[in-house]
Amino acid sequence: RALALVPDSRGALTVEDLLPYFPDFTVIDEFKEAVLEELGRYAGRIDVSRAQMDTSQALAEEIRGEIAEISQRTIRLAWWG
C-alpha cells in the first residue's frame, strides 16, 4: 500500500524513501514494478543532466575561444598632443 503513494506524490516521495520501512525479509517481487519505474525516472534525469553538462561544456569551450581571440587583439591609438 505504501508504494501506491509514490506515483501520487508527483516526485516528492520515491521508492528509495520507503525502502528503510520495509522489513529485511520483504520479497522484491512485491514492489518490482515500482522499483523499475523509479529506475526509469532516474535514467531520464541522468540523461537530462548529461545533456545539460554537454551544453555547458560546449559553451565554456566557446567562451574560452572567444577570450583567447579577444586577448590577441591590439588597438593602435594615435595621439595628437
* Model pLDDT for residues 37-63, shown as the tens digit of each residue: 888 988 999 999 999 999 999 999 999
- Residue 9: per-residue pLDDT: 75
pLDDT given at position 71: 87
Taking residues 10-24, report their average pLDDT: 79
Name residues whose C-beta falls within 8 Å of residue 12's C-beta, 6 or more positions apart in sequence.
none
CA dihedral 33, 16, 3, 19 (to 10 degrees): 110
Phi-psi region of 10 (alpha: psi -120 to 50; beta: other; left: phi over 0): left
pTM: 0.60
